[in-house]
Structures are given as structure tokens and as C-alpha cells.
Structure 1
Amino acid sequence: MPCRSSDGANHVTETVAAIVAAHRAGTVKPAQTVARSYQRIREHNDPAIFISLRDEADAIAEAERLTDPTLPLYSVPVAVKDNIDVKGLPTTAACPAYSYLPAQDATAVAKLRAAGAIIIGKTNLDQFATGLVGVRSPYGIPKNPVRADLVPGGSSSGSAVAVSAGLVPLALGTDTAGSGRVPAMLNNIVGLKPSLGLISNAGLVPACRTLDCISVFSLTVDDAVAALAAMAGPDGADPFSRDRPLAPLAAFPAKLTLGIPKAGQLIFFGDHAAEKAYGEACKRWQALGATLVEFDLEPFYETARLLYEGPWVAERYLVIRDLLASSPEAIHPVTREITIAGARPTAADTFAALYRLQALRRVADRTFAELDAIVLPTAPTVYSTAQVLANPIELNSRLGTYTNFVNLLDLCGLALPSAMRSDGAPFGITLLAPTGRDAKLASIGRVFHADTRLSIGSKALPQPSLAAVPAQAGSDEITIAVVGAHLSGMALNHELTTLDASLLEEAVTAPDYKLYRLDTTPPKPGMLRVEAGAGTSIKLELWAMSPAAFGKFVAAIPPPLSIGTVRLADGRQAKGFIVEPAAIAGAKDISAYGGWRTFMAEKVKG
């Protein structure tokens, strides 16, 4: 069974992409992959990684019930940080006195399930997501699988360790001040911190509600993007949610301008190995074709100081003030010391900080006006668990040197492995860009990570070959999704080809649609959007056409069909055929066929 071992010979089924491919090909059964995760958890034998585990038999049974192999995360095991709700498992935020049993999944978790993911368990964290070290939990300190004496990083300690150790290929963290990036560096994995509001926070225990975001840990950038695509989208249950369509991955650009700090502005706290590794990372970017331009980092440092020295710590205080009042001993001493300071800022302090932050945001806007992204060390150095326990607040603060300002400035980020130092410690860099550039960061970051040729995680497994990005319409073309008679070889396909449209690829929708057979001549289907996750993934084709041709094509579409926005399984969106809801009364629901071509083929057989 090729998925049983984690050695180099069988690394093929370690990544999300490889697992899904193996399941679809039938070379590995979904239940086998789920069982493998549980077996590895037992063999790894670190009880501080997971706070709670789902019953193995239930997880396997869920995998066996999946019948749609087109799901983008088809039976992929996923771990979830224990400040994110999973129905059936308690949410503790690493504080037993705070524990509750949620009535439903967090929106992000529900979307992962709809995409085919199998939730394995809830992972350990710095209590109430306060910390970058991973040592502030009554459930223990997860052991760093890359170098055992180092802290695992926090607050998303268990999630990062679970991915690095090969227990699961994918895990959710959260990131308010760096909790999705610092652990990624310390565990030699990818940490994707999305734009604020891109993933719903409904069902997340807040740290700072105005700054929180759910993040992704994975072995490769492509895997992280697959998870992001499954979860992205607006949510009425989260007042901080934003409608930010996720662009597709693109080829590495011919021109790329990256910002690096002015000489002398970087801080490494005397860690010459980290300083050398950052210099080598910059040279790697130049070898890949990027132009490096210096920028002033000081305004970013000032922004970072606002997070814990300013009034935002009051948001952390709001979450647990009742528990602080009734059972202060239930809260970790360091967490208590940090959080209780949130009771002190005044309203005047808050407005003064907001005014200063707005000014700093304008400085950041000017910085990014001429840059595609900036490149910084993910963290300036590394520390052992013993060092952090002896000096818990100062060393934790140092690890946030290049992370604390990011959400205050409304940036997206991608933490990437960059090097393994001679002392066995991992080093990583982070790409940062203004909100909405998540796909751009992923498109360039995946190439950088592949170019390092580093092993993935802590198991010395080689990176998989970098997959080619899907074909895209030209800059002056429009992509249209067709689901019925316009498919290749079908009755109305000539309406596309006579307009010089070109086929880009076959694809599938998100599981948000129903397909109906309409009473038309020639026969056509009607695709109706339903509640997210409550429908079926429908096979379709993507075609590219000029704006003029698109206008002619759309003008000729007869009712009850029209053109709307179709959401694809990988998170992309395209203009495509949808049907008016009134037209499906009495129409046959053919969603179970998964597409018009399959339905027509079965009809001919019948």
C-alpha cells in the first residue's frame, strides 16, 4: 500500500495534490489515507499535538461515504486549531475552563468538509491564541519535529507540527500577529496568511476580532491554495467577511519587483546564521529574475509596536474578561499578564492609535505602489524551549518582529521555507503584499520554494515536481464556462468556434449547483446555484473569447438561460451559463450525473 510509509520511496502520496490524485486513480482508497493519519499519530506519540481527536471509525466511515471524486479535497485528512469550532469536538482555546461544545462547524470547516476534507482532530495552541512560541498551554508543549530543542512556534503550534511531522497534509491555524507564519518557519512548512475577510471567521474564538484570520499550513504552496480556494468567499454570519474573488495561479512574471529593507534596518538579534540565510534568499530571488528595491522598514516597525503597546490588546481582554474576573487561575500566567493590560487603555488612547495607524497605512500604500511585494525574514532568529520558558515575554516579542504589523496594515502574507541552517534550524522568508494579492504571492512563492529544493516538512521527503498552472485567457479575453450543448463535440459548440473561441481546460464547479434538463430544442441543461455546499460539483469547460465575440455570444442566448458568475471548485470564478429559477419548475434534476455529457451518454444507452 503506497500511502503506508513516510519514507522517500513513498513520498508520492504525502501532499494534498498527490493524495487526491491517488484517490481519483483508485491506487489508494480514501479510508486508507484516513487510517494512515491515525496510525501515524499513534506512532509519533506526542500527546501535546492534539487536544482532542475524532473517533477513528467515524472519520473512516465519512471517507467511505464520499462518492464524488471530483471534490477538490477528496478525502484529505485535516487538523483544526482548537480555537475553531468543529461540530462534535469541544472548543477549548487551550483553556479547559473555557471549553464548550459547538452546535455546528465554523464556516471554514464546513466548507472544507463540502470540498471533501475529513477532519481528524483539534490541535494545541498558545492559550487564547496569545503567543508566537507554542509553550503557553496546559495541554503541553508539542515537540518541534525539525529540531527537538526549539520551540514549535505559536500560537498555532499543534497544527504546524502535525503537518511537518506528516500526521496530516493540511491544517488550519489562525493568524493575528504571526501565528500562521512563525510556526511555519520553525517547522519547515508553508504558512498562508490570507487577506483579512477572505475566509469567514464565523465559529472562531477571537483574539483580536478586527485583525484575526484563519490560516493554512501545508507542505507546498499549491496545497495551501487548494485549501484557501475551498474556504474563500463572503459569509453573512461574519460581519468582518469581505467579498474578495480569488484569482487563479499564474506563471512566474517576466517582471517582478520586490522590496527589501534599507541597509542596516533588519534586526537579527545577533543571529548571523539567520542574517546570512536572508541574504542568500535575496540572491535566489534575483537569480529567478526579480528586481530588488530598497524601502524604509521603520514605519512598519512602528506599526508593529501598536499591536501590543497600543489599545489592540483590549480586544484580547474582551474575549476573556469574565473568566479573568471569576477564575483568573484558569488562565496561563503569561497569557494573563499580557491580556490583563487590555483593561487599561482609554477611549482617547484608542482613537489616538487609530489616527496614527491610518497615517501609517498611507505610508505603506506608497511603499507598495511601486512594488509587487516585499520580502522579509519570517522571524529574525530561533529560540529553544528552555530559553523561552526562562524569558517568555521578551523572546516571544522578538519572534514577532516581522509579523506583528501585517494585519494592522491589511496585508496578505505567504511564509515559505528558505534554507536549513548549518545548526539544523530552519529559516524562512515571508512575502507580503496589499490585501487581495493572495494569488500573486502564491504564484511567485511556489516557484521560489521549488527552487530551494528543500525537503518538505521534517521527514526529509523531496518536493514534488511543480505542477504547470492552468491555461488562462489572454489579457484582452474573457473566460466563459459552458455546461451543456456548447461543450466540445456537442450540438451548439459551433457557436463558440465560429467566434474563434479557444478551449482552455475542463473544470468542475464548487459543490454549490443543481443541474436540470430543460424542455428545449436542442436539449439543454440549466444550472442553478443553491446554498454553498448543498449542491453538486458539475463538470464544465472553460473557453476564452474576445470581448467583441463575448458580446455577440451573450446577445444570442435565449431565455431562460443567462450569463452569471460561476464559482469553480478551485476557487476561481468565470462568467458562465445559469438558469432562471422559475424555469426549473417540473424540470428533471440530473445533478447526480455530475454533468451534461454524462447524462446524454446515459440517455443514449437507455
Structure 2
Amino acid sequence: MKLAAGEVLEASRPDSPAVAASRAAHAAPRPAWISLRPTDEVAAGAVDPDAPLAGLPFGVKDNLDVAGLPTTSANPLLADAVAATSAGAVARLEAAGAVAIGKTNMDQFATGLVGTRSPYGACACVADPAYVSGGSSSGSAVAVATGVVPLALATDTAGSGRVPAAFNGLVGIKPTRGLVSTGGLLPACRSLDCVTTLTRTVAVGRAALAAMIWADPDDPWSRPRTPRPPAGVATTMRVVAIPAGPIDLDPPSAAAWAVAVARLRRLVAHVVEVDITAFLAAAKLLYEGPFLAERWAGFGHHLEPDGPHLDPTVRQIVLRGQAIDGASVFAAQDRLAGLRRATEGTWTEVDALMLPVTPNHPTVAEVAADPIGVNRRLGTYTNFVNLLDLCAVAVPADPRADGLPYGVQFVAPAFADDPLLDLAATWCGEDAATPAVPAGSALLAVAGAHMSGLALNPQLTSVGGVLRYRARTAPAYRLFRLNVPGVARPGLVRTGDGPADGVAVEVWQLPQQGLGALLGLIPAPLGLGRVELDDGTLITGFLAEEYATRDATDVTHHGSWRAALTAAR
């Protein structure tokens, strides 16, 4: 994606955005920045004006290497550790024409969600200095929110990019683990670390992410992007879940959350409620379980000897990791696997999950009074995302009644990044065009055994089928469990007296020849006909002959074939 004309210019022009950003950064209060390139060095840089991000200035969290600048991870004793080469993510942005102007402040060793755990000074919320900026990518958030740069790199292991995004009115994109190389990153938790972006728009963050995605052969945690969305991931997200029942929010955040939910109901086709108990249980494993051992393995050697260069809270937390035994780690991995399995069912009938980013927005004084307890609560809705191998994006919502910024996050399965960013763009009022059905392809609505993960779904995926979107039928349909041999199958019948909210279907995109091959596999009393969806669209789909319902069981009240199967177990 190339940014619109006028947004970027080559760095060497004296009025270029990169030079202007460098001057602004040098003039800005220092807590946001740890080190900066001299402005004349930025101005001397050559940029290809035809590059996708030509001249776009950006900041870099100071746990990522930038050639010629030290990488401190907010530890002053590392200020002499000048990087010879840039981290993979930084290098790829620079290859796309972006210009790194300096290194941003952070919670030391990327351990914290508050933005106050740095010997270089605490960062505050741009809307009110009495409140924390959020961390650990605090300086990156402040640098973008104050308009110094349009883009800053962050990292997000437990929410360190999403929390400061929410507290400063920004977009924080946390991609699928491994899509962006972590080569050249001083690790927090090596297996969970993600390089992320902070921007004011989805479009700029998405352009930066596109430049950084790369299967790095030198990074053992790197993963290639899948050529098509994984099974069950829709290319257009229309069904979004929210937590069922009460959730942990302070009163101003609860009111803002209610406004966000009302906004979501106007924005997407369907909002459903789901149980998030297993997600929240997984979140507790990150800091309250033996996964602290990975932080100790990553940077524990920098925590001895103690001294004024170390944040005492960070040191207190991570030192606990050295006493964790291997058996405890494996027990926690087993527990996590069970929780991952418990959450998998969420994604069978919804595209994304909308959550608050945090339960509250603490003051600097509240963090000082209880640095560990306040920080722990901030991770309630963010800590689980990397543990469960999910992608997420934080987006601004309507501010709280007290005027503080408020953010929500959309969460989805791994490699659902593109449709998730489309959803985020729609939320933010940005362009998110629905991709056209390619020539030579057709759409097919399925309501039964051909749905994602069910017995006959391979008949669709084996011919190149892709899930386009989830929907529901018009109210005129009922669903019956047919009395047929072999795989249990339902029949969707237009009876004229179906439920007001219809029956759940999936709309798949198939090559025309694939649809033709499928025709020969459809047994009577099933066939293909025109199915009306809840938005009035007519689409080809599976229907059953009405005579087949005479000895069939009506399962319409379950709302979907998947739910009917679950109830029958």
C-alpha cells in the first residue's frame, strides 16, 4: 500500500516530514525519547520517492536495534551498546522508504503496562498528566499521540502496545506471532514477543505492517504468512462477540464500554455474547505462573548487581523467575493447552471478539502506591492474546465521561490479520472495501455438515473454497435433522414460519469448477437453490425437499447446525 500523495516526502528535503519530526523530537520533553539521530543526519538520508513509505518518519521502541544508536531497553548501563545493524522490522521499514528518527522510552525490559518503570522518566497520558500513559511502549505512544511521528514501533507481549494505544487514543496493531521478525529485539518473553505498530490511523499501521511481514530464516520464531485464510477465518468479518455477563470495569470505563457495544451493534451484522472465562484464566498464567522463567532466561543476567539503573518493580517481578523449576513450566504448558482447547469453540461461529483493552485507567499516584497490583489488573483483557496465539488490534472508542481516551480491541485467530484490520478500519471510519468475487468463482451458502470444521467441510476446502462471511437466513427458514444414512446432515427448508433471527449459515467462495464437482456429491433430498439471507441477499445454497421433513427432527430452536450437534452429544 502506497500512502496518498502529499503524506510523505523524501527525507533530504528541508521541509520533509522526517526532518520536521526530528526537529520536533529534539524539542519535545525527553521522557518520550531515549536517543535521537541528529537532525542533519536525518536530512542527509536519501530516500527513493517511489518507495511505498517514502519519507515517513517513525520512532522505534528502545528494545529494537537501530543501526548507529544504542539499544538500552531502558537500562542506562546499556547506553554504550550501539547497534551495528538494524532489527529486521526496522530494516524492512527503511527499505520501504521510512526514516527512523530515534529510540523511544519504555517500561524497563518491556516488563510493565504502566509506562512509569523507566530510569529515563515516566511517560504520562497525553490527555492528562495525572494519568499513566500505559506501557511498556510508553514513549512510542506519546511520540505518536503528540504528533511528533505518524508511526512508532512498539512491542506487545502482554498488551504493551495495545494498552498505551487505548490510553492515548491510538491504533495499536498486534499481528499474529511470528509474522514480523523479532530478530534484533532484546527479548522479554522470546516465544511470545511481537513487534507491533502505533499510529493514528489503521491505514498507516497497515502499510507499515505490510512492509514488515517477512519469513525471516534467521529468526526461529518467524512464521510465513499463509497463502489463504485458515479454515474458519472469514475474509469479511460480520459476526462479532462480546463477553457474556458482567466484566471487571471501573464505573467510567463501564459507561464507555456500554457506548462502544452500542456502536458495535450499529456497525456489524450480528453481535453475540460468549463466555470468556477460559480466556481470562489463560491471561493469569503470564505473570502469575511459571512463564516468568522465560523473562528470567531472556534478560535476567542484566538484573545483577542491583543499582539505581534498575527499576525496582521490574527486578522484583522477574527475579522470581530464577526459582521456577522445569516441572512447573511443563505443568503450565499443559494447563495452557487445555485452556486453548476450551477457547477454540468461540471461533466456530464468530469472526472476532471485542473486548475492553483495560478495566480502568489508573493515575500515576495509584501506580506508585501499588505498582504490581495496578499493573496486574491492566493486563486482564490483554495478557492471554499471545499465549493463545491470537492476533489483535486496539482502536479508539468514544472517550470516557471524564475526558480520558478509551479504547477497545478486536481479537481473532492467528493469521486473521487482514480481515481483522478491515473490521478495525470500518470501526474507525476508514476505507475497508469488501473484496469482489473473482471471475470464475461463485458463492455458496451452507448450513450444515459443510460448515467450517465439520465433517464435509473438506469437500469445499479441497477445491479451493474460502470462507467469505458468516450470516443468518431470512426469517422464513427452518432447520431439520434429516433421517439419512452416513454423516449426520440437516435440511434447510423455506417454510415461511422460521424464527425472527433466522438460521446460521456460512457463505463460501468456490471456483466454478469446484461448485460443479460438488453437485455430483449432493444426495437427495438435498439440492441447490436460492437462499435468502437476513440482509435480503439471494444466494445459491443447500436446501432440502420439503417431503424430507416428514420423518425429520426440527432443530431450528438451536439456531445453528453446530449447536444442534453439540446438544445431541
TM > 0.5: yes
Question: In structure 2, do the counterparts of structure 1 residues 433 and 294 end up closer, same or farther at CA, with 3 Å as the change threshold?
Answer: same
Deviation of the 1:290 alpha carbon? 3.1
Secondary structure of the 2:209 match is helix
Deviations 1:28-67 (A, max 9, x none): 9585212211232244x311110000111111111xx22x
Partner in structure 2 of residue 192 of structure 1: 173
Asked whether the 8 Å contact 2:187–2:299 carries over to 1, the reply is no
1:262 aligns with 2:226: no
Deviation of the 1:471 alpha carbon? 6.0
- Return 5+ residue gaps in structure 2 as ranges: 443-509, 514-569
1:345 aligns with 2:311: no
Asked whether the 8 Å contact 2:393–2:409 carries over to 1, the reply is yes
Name the CA distance, whole Å, in 2 between partners of 1:123 and 1:153: 14
Deviations 1:437-469 (A, max 9, x none): 01111101111122xxxxxxxxxxxxxxx3464
Partner in structure 2 of residue 373 of structure 1: 352
1:52 aligns with 2:29: no
The partner residue of 1:87 within 67, 88, 105 is: 67
Asked whether the 8 Å contact 1:198–1:234 carries over to 2, the reply is yes
Partner in structure 1 of residue 106 of structure 2: 125
Name the CA distance, whole Å, in 2 between partners of 1:333 and 1:254: 46
Identical-residue share of aligned pairs (%) = 44
Deviations 1:489-519 (A, max 9, x none): xxxxxxxxxxxxxxxxxxxxxxxxxxxxxxx
Number of residue pairs matched by the alignment: 440
Whichever residue aligns with residue 244 of structure 2, its letter is K
Secondary structure of the 2:50 match is coil
Deviation of the 1:309 alpha carbon? 1.2
Partner in structure 1 of residue 3 of structure 2: 17
The partner residue of 1:174 within 155, 171, 184 is: 155
Deviations 1:407-463 (A, max 9, x none): 00000000000011221111110000010001111101111122xxxxxxxxxxxxx
Secondary structure of the 2:190 match is coil
Question: In structure 2, do the counterparts of structure 1 residues 22 and 228 end up closer, same or farther at CA, with 3 Å as the change threshold?
Answer: closer
1:203 aligns with 2:184: yes
Whichever residue aligns with residue 91 of structure 1, its letter is T
Partner in structure 1 of residue 16 of structure 2: 32
Secondary structure of the 2:180 match is coil
What's the RMSD between the two structures over aligned residues?
Answer: 2.5
Partner in structure 1 of residue 292 of structure 2: 313
Partner in structure 1 of residue 44 of structure 2: 61
Name the CA distance, whole Å, in 2 between partners of 1:255 and 1:175: 24
Secondary structure of the 2:294 match is helix
Name the CA distance, whole Å, in 2 between partners of 1:217 and 1:55: 23
Whichever residue aligns with residue 354 of structure 2, its letter is V
Secondary structure of the 1:166 match is coil
The partner residue of 1:408 within 387, 391, 394 is: 387
Secondary structure of the 2:386 match is coil
The partner residue of 1:290 within 269, 272, 283 is: 269
Name the CA distance, whole Å, in 2 between partners of 1:375 and 1:262: 11
Name the CA distance, whole Å, in 2 between partners of 1:435 and 1:373: 11
Partner in structure 2 of residue 462 of structure 1: none
Name the CA distance, whole Å, in 2 between partners of 1:321 and 1:295: 39
1:77 aligns with 2:63: no
Asked whether the 8 Å contact 1:111–1:230 carries over to 2, the reply is yes
Name the CA distance, whole Å, in 2 between partners of 1:39 and 1:283: 42
Asked whether the 8 Å contact 1:246–1:438 carries over to 2, the reply is no
Name the CA distance, whole Å, in 2 between partners of 1:284 and 1:330: 46
Asked whether the 8 Å contact 1:48–1:141 carries over to 2, the reply is yes
1:389 aligns with 2:368: yes
- Return 5+ residue gaps in structure 1 as ranges: 1-15, 451-465, 479-544, 549-606
Deviation of the 1:23 alpha carbon? 4.2
Deviation of the 1:324 alpha carbon? 2.8
Asked whether the 8 Å contact 1:247–1:439 carries over to 2, the reply is no
Question: In structure 2, do the counterparts of structure 1 residues 476 and 340 end up closer, same or farther at CA, with 3 Å as the change threshold?
Answer: farther
Asked whether the 8 Å contact 2:237–2:352 carries over to 1, the reply is no
Question: In structure 2, do the counterparts of structure 1 residues 288 and 128 end up closer, same or farther at CA, with 3 Å as the change threshold?
Answer: same
Worse-superposed segment, 326-335 or 112-121: 326-335
Deviation of the 1:286 alpha carbon? 1.1
Deviations 1:134-184 (A, max 9, x none): 000000012321222110110000000000000000000000000010000
Asked whether the 8 Å contact 2:236–2:419 carries over to 1, the reply is no
Secondary structure of the 1:103 match is coil
Partner in structure 2 of residue 5 of structure 1: none
Name the CA distance, whole Å, in 1 between partners of 2:141 and 2:109: 17
Whichever residue aligns with residue 418 of structure 2, its letter is A
Deviations 1:217-252 (A, max 9, x none): 00011111100000001001110000015879xxx9
Q: TM-score, normalised by structure 2?
A: 0.73
Name the CA distance, whole Å, in 1 between partners of 2:235 and 2:306: 55
Deviation of the 1:474 alpha carbon? 1.9
Secondary structure of the 1:48 match is helix
Partner in structure 2 of residue 498 of structure 1: none
1:237 aligns with 2:218: yes
Whichever residue aligns with residue 95 of structure 1, its letter is N
Secondary structure of the 2:384 match is coil
Partner in structure 1 of residue 545 of structure 2: none
Secondary structure of the 2:186 match is coil
Name the CA distance, whole Å, in 2 between partners of 1:417 and 1:185: 6
Question: In structure 2, do the counterparts of structure 1 residues 423 and 351 end up closer, same or farther at CA, with 3 Å as the change threshold?
Answer: same
Question: In structure 2, do the counterparts of structure 1 residues 59 and 255 end up closer, same or farther at CA, with 3 Å as the change threshold?
Answer: closer
The partner residue of 2:126 within 126, 138, 145 is: 145
Secondary structure of the 2:16 match is helix
Name the CA distance, whole Å, in 2 between partners of 1:359 and 1:189: 34
Name the CA distance, whole Å, in 2 between partners of 1:246 and 1:324: 43
Partner in structure 2 of residue 114 of structure 1: 95
Question: In structure 2, do the counterparts of structure 1 residues 161 and 368 end up closer, same or farther at CA, with 3 Å as the change threshold?
Answer: same
Name the CA distance, whole Å, in 1 between partners of 2:330 and 2:14: 53
Asked whether the 8 Å contact 2:240–2:268 carries over to 1, the reply is no
Name the CA distance, whole Å, in 2 between partners of 1:392 and 1:423: 23
Asked whether the 8 Å contact 1:146–1:188 carries over to 2, the reply is no
Deviations 1:225-284 (A, max 9, x none): 100000001001110000015879xxx9887111111112x101xx21211111111111
Partner in structure 2 of residue 554 of structure 1: none
Name the CA distance, whole Å, in 1 between partners of 2:152 and 2:227: 20
Deviations 1:266-322 (A, max 9, x none): 101xx2121111111111111113311111111111101111111111111112332
Asked whether the 8 Å contact 1:46–1:142 carries over to 2, the reply is no
